[in-house]
Amino acid sequence: MNQSEFLNTVLPFKDKLYRLAKRLLVSREEAEDATQEIIMKLWTNNAKMSSYNNVEAFAMTMTKNYCLDRLKSKQANNLKLVHSNYKDENTSLQKSIEVKDSVSWMERIMENLPEQQRLVLQLRDIEQYEYDEIEKMLDMKPTAIRVTLSRARKAVREELLKKHNYGIS
């Protein structure tokens, strides 16, 4: 695969790699470094890429594994999960504040989910991957994915209800 073919293959899902890395790592800088590292690894293994049925799923799996390794490393002592990829310049100040508050609540709720629930929720509901793609990325059975996703959604729903019903008798 030449450079042009490689770029045409990898660039369409580069942002998804970044968002997954951002979900798992501390900061924009950490996520950018992880994304760059994954793209470099893909380029290094460029000759083998044509043998993969789904390069995007392979790259997402690589990103997940790289980020989890990074989190487990000694350098990751101060890392925490953060997610903020929402920007809309055309909203009113009030709406903007409400959206930021909602995103902030979702971040906090997702931070408290077990790792597997967090990953499945990110891949399915935020990145909008199909179940079979998630199955390959996370090496999980379809039933386990559905159960994990259901539990994650239920936990998020319960936390949001607590937040919205706080102080109401």
Residue-wise pLDDT tens digits, 73-111: 744 454 444 444 445 555 577 777 777 777 778 888 888
Same domain? 21 vs 42: yes
> What pLDDT sits at residue 81?
42
Same domain? 67 vs 116: no
Q: Model-level pTM? A: 0.53
> What pLDDT sits at residue 22?
87
Give the CA dihedral 77, 19, 130, 68, nearest 10 degrees.
Answer: -20
- Low-confidence residues of the chain: pLDDT under 50: 74-76, 78-86, 167, 169
Of 162, 67, 78, 62, nearest to 115 by C-alpha is 67
Q: Which of 82, 108, 129 is the last residue of a domain?
A: 82
Same domain? 127 vs 149: yes
Same domain? 77 vs 107: no
Same domain? 20 vs 74: yes
Residue 43 neighbours by CB under 8 Å, 6+ apart: 6
> What pLDDT sits at residue 79?
43
Same domain? 19 vs 71: yes
State how far the Cα of 72 lies from the Cα of 49, in Å rounded to an integer. 28
The count of structural domains within the chain is 2
Q: Which of 82, 113, 141 is the last residue of a domain?
A: 82
Domain that holds residue 124: 91-169
Same domain? 1 vs 74: yes
What does each C-alpha distance from 161 to 109, 151, 168 come to in angstroms? Answer: 12, 15, 11
The DSSP letter of residue 126 is I
